[in-house]
Amino acid sequence: MARTSFIKEVNWKLLFSALGLMVISLLTIAGCETQSIPDDTVSSGSYLMTLLSSSKVLGQLRWQILGVFSFFILAKFDYHHLREWTWFLYLFAVIALVGLFFVEPIANVHRWYRIPFLGMSIQPAEYAKLIAVMAMAWYLEHNKHASSRFSVAVGLFIIAFPIFFLIFKQPDLGGALVFIPMVAAVMRFGQIHPGIQKALSIVSIIALSFVSLIFMGVLDHDQMRPVATRYVKEYQYERLSPKGYHQSACQTSISIGGVWGRGLSGAQYCRGGWLPEATTDAIFAAWTEMFGLVGAIVVLGLYAILLNESLNAALVAKDSFGQLLAAGIAVYLAAHVIVNIGMVSGVLPMTGVPLPLLSYGGSSVLANMAALGVLQSIYSRRFLF
């Protein structure tokens, strides 16, 4: 079937929801930066322009522009050709993750590469998770007639485990945990043996229940410390404390916002520096302080559209590679949204998971927009055979 024009093929709901979230990101980052702006400027007519010209906002804007550019490049690129690059990219991702342990750590963790001449840092884990989904999709497509065999499931875990382990050892517990539902989604769409899927679900539920019981105070936090710290770092375990300051600060910021919020200039809690990681992990709390329940509903609505259209790409894909790839990407986005909003709302422990397209950070924005570009490529080719 002949291709229509690219403009007609674009999923505008997907694109506009992403752009809307990026605009909200800039506004929130700007509002959190006002502690460095003189009071007389805050009350002037040039207030908003002053905020948006801050170095942090402009830095995020540059990454967003690169992200939009990558979206259109990958949207035009035929996703079928990704098969040819899969194992080269997978090997590159593993090498990049291993290489982090041979460079100087940033903030005592091995997550970023500094690029001095560009004045920025790159976090390879964000791209590695997406590349792992691509590799699993390639593998299951080539084994689709034997997907129910135990050996195929073992092969899938062999592909997923190096990425999971290397992210976990950075240490990045949150990044490793969101990898689990991605694997589960690929297994589900890849029709892996139901017994194996059930076993993975049971293990995941047990682990999640254990974490939840500690976080809710049912299991004593101090008594469980010797057991838990055999597997995670001390500071990671502290995030499971039901009395953690970071989470309490997030809930305070959200409650201050009320229904309508305090506005960009009135978010005193965020502006005063009392909300830790206000532009990264806790950006949803900062936005809600500024624009209240109404603002939170707007963000959740945009995410609902984004995730619905992402899943739609998986449902309309005409080949197993596209279906598996789209499903993995959709769950990748959904897991980040659920975990981040859950942790700032007090439902889940703080794990350092960025909120897609909102949290400050170039690697996350670029990886998210590249992923959406792949989804658009799959969506555009839904009528081609």
DSSP 8-state class, residue 118: G
Task: State whether residue 106 is helix, strand or coil.
Answer: strand
Q: 0.85 exceeded by the pTM?
A: yes
Strand partners, 122: 113
pLDDT in tens, 49-105: 666 677 889 999 999 999 999 999 999 999 999 999 999 999 999 999 999 999 888
Residue 326: which residues within 8 A CB-CB, separation 6 or more? 310, 311, 313, 314, 317, 374, 375, 378
| pLDDT at residue 382 greater than cutoff 80 | no
pLDDT at res. 117: 66
Q: Is the distance from CB of 32 to CB of 331 less than 8 angstroms?
A: no
Torsion on CA atoms 167, 173, 179, 180, rounded to nearest 10 = 130
pLDDT in tens, 13-41: 999 999 999 999 999 999 887 544 555 55
CA distance 56 to 61: 9
Phi-psi region of 343 (alpha: psi -120 to 50; beta: other; left: phi over 0): alpha
The candidate with the shortest Cα–Cα distance to 166, out of 223, 228, 111, is: 111
DSSP 8-state class, residue 110: S
Residue 124 in tokens: 């390879």
Residue 113: which residues within 8 A CB-CB, separation 6 or more? 96, 99, 100, 103, 121, 122, 124
